[in-house]
Amino acid sequence: MEPGSTASIKTARTLLPVLFAVNVFRAAMLSITPPEAATYNRFVGPPLREAFALTTANNHVLNTLLARISTSVFHLTDLSLRLPSLLGGALYLWAVYRLARRHFGSGPLFLAAVALLSLNPLVLDYLSMARGYGLALAFWMWALEFLNPPVTARNLNLAGMCLGLSVAANLSFLVPAVALLTVAPHPRSLRVTHFLIPAFLTAFLILAIPLNHTDFATFNHGATSLRQTMNSLTALSLPVGQASWPAVFASVRIGAAMLALATLVLALRLGDASRLPLDRLTFILGCTMGVSFAALEVGHRAFKIAFPLGRSALYFVPILTLAGLCLVRRIGWKPLQWAALLAAGVYLFQFHVRTYSEWREYANGRALVKAIRQDAPLAPVRVAASPGWDQVLNYYRARYALGRWAPVQAVPSAGSFDYYVLKREDAAAMGERHLHVVFRDGQVSVAR
């Protein structure tokens, strides 16, 4: 790690706190999304015995437990529900800075590393949303940081515990965690006692009871191929402009595949004997990708397990990004380093502070609830809603203590209701039922 405080280091030390402040703003101000609402409704809000009577893929256990604590201490708000993810986001940004400084020193490539790893819209979304992906990603990155030389027993213990916490935060991170446990260079005498055992015990202590009551069928939803996995990551990382410039985005997908292959080939050539930090990182990243791809392929072919889709494959974003930066550093061509920094600017055009990119149609959840409350301030209310909106409205029913509201039902549902919250594709029901619109934003309508 190079000493000094250059312009690039000062810029990074400004950028990362600003991004954390943006995450806090989003956590406090953005409306709850359906997966967050479902997490609260099923696992955070109910009594502990009821919440863990049946665990599904939506229960990111470590995040759930921390959210139960934060909402008990600070009472239920959007911010308190998202507080564990926010803390995970802070840990992730800290790990990004340390890894970038250690391996890229200072200058344009260091700043490119910080920007590319922290500005990706998909990554940023899950550094504030009340889900386990941000926590899992943060702990995985810290495990990678602790595996840098010198590899001491203490650092291996910490790396193992971080991998266990990563899996406990989100089970989809089992693949990169096992891959890192398998390929990371470390003294063989310390492998089991100081690396594998801490990782296993940490995950086991948190997951033992929930896994004993798990419906594993809920986990088998995803992609049908690795190609679809990588395409979904590209679509969520670059959500703007894909319809206008399909050739450009196709090139990005091809480039990502070529990058993964090049890193794997280089890692196999380097081997695990090199003492150079950059070579070690390249070896770890390349082999982690290779083992992860192989494990996913074997799981799919032998056990019919679906490939991860979108956010479930979030771990590939920093792995591929760091791999690409390592190749740029090895090439050593200065214009290529500046090009990497310019590429990070593309993420800025993709990022929307006031919406989560995957859930933009739910941006006005709070306004929608306020519209119903204003229209019927004191009367008992029965609401039916399109799937997704029923979870959001039931969350806000608890959030605002709307005791006069009956539990919100999903449409279609038998019976008569006072209000209907309908997505655009369900809006035909308004004409059939002769409903009067009291709120509309282009994506959703509220009618009575």
**Average confidence (pLDDT) per 10 residues, the chain, 448 residues:** 72 96 96 96 92 87 96 95 97 97 93 95 96 97 91 90 97 95 79 90 94 83 89 85 67 80 82 76 91 93 91 94 91 89 87 89 92 85 91 95 90 77 77 77 84
pLDDT at position 433, please? Answer: 67
Q: What is the dihedral of CA 264, 265, 268, 274, to 10 degrees?
A: -90
Q: What is the pTM of this model?
A: 0.94
pLDDT at position 74, please? Answer: 94
List all residues 6 or more positions away from 86 whose beta carbon is below 8 Å from its beta carbon: 23, 24, 27, 127, 128
pLDDT at position 437, please? Answer: 85
pLDDT at position 429, please? Answer: 63
Report the chain's terminal Cα–Cα distance, integer Å: 63
CB 125 within 8 Å of CB 137: no
Interatomic CA distance for residues 308 and 314, integer angstroms: 9
Residue 239: cis peptide before it, omega within 30 degrees of 0: no
Residue 47: cis peptide before it, omega within 30 degrees of 0: no
Which residue, among 344, 357, 347, 250, has the nearest Cα to 310 in the 3D structure?
357
335-344 contacts at long range (C-beta below 8 A, 24 or more positions apart): 337/107, 337/108, 337/109, 337/112, 338/108, 340/108, 340/109, 340/112, 340/116, 341/108, 341/109, 341/111, 341/112, 341/115, 343/112, 343/116, 344/112, 344/115, 344/116, 344/119
pLDDT at position 242, please? Answer: 65
Amino acid (1-letter code) at residue 326: C
Chain-centre distance for alpha carbon 61: 14
Strands laid side by side in the 383-385 sheet:
409-410, 383-385, 419-423, 444-447, 437-440
Which residue, among 24, 23, 53, 60, has the nearest Cα to 39 in the 3D structure?
60
Sort residue 131 into left (φ over 0), alpha (ψ -120 to 50) or beta: beta
Interatomic CA distance for residues 382 and 372, integer angstroms: 11
Interatomic CA distance for residues 27 and 306, integer angstroms: 31
Interatomic CA distance for residues 134 and 84, integer angstroms: 9
Q: Which residue has the tokens 């039902």?
A: 409
pLDDT at position 293, please? Answer: 93
Interatomic CA distance for residues 352 and 30, integer angstroms: 11
pLDDT at position 152, please? Answer: 86
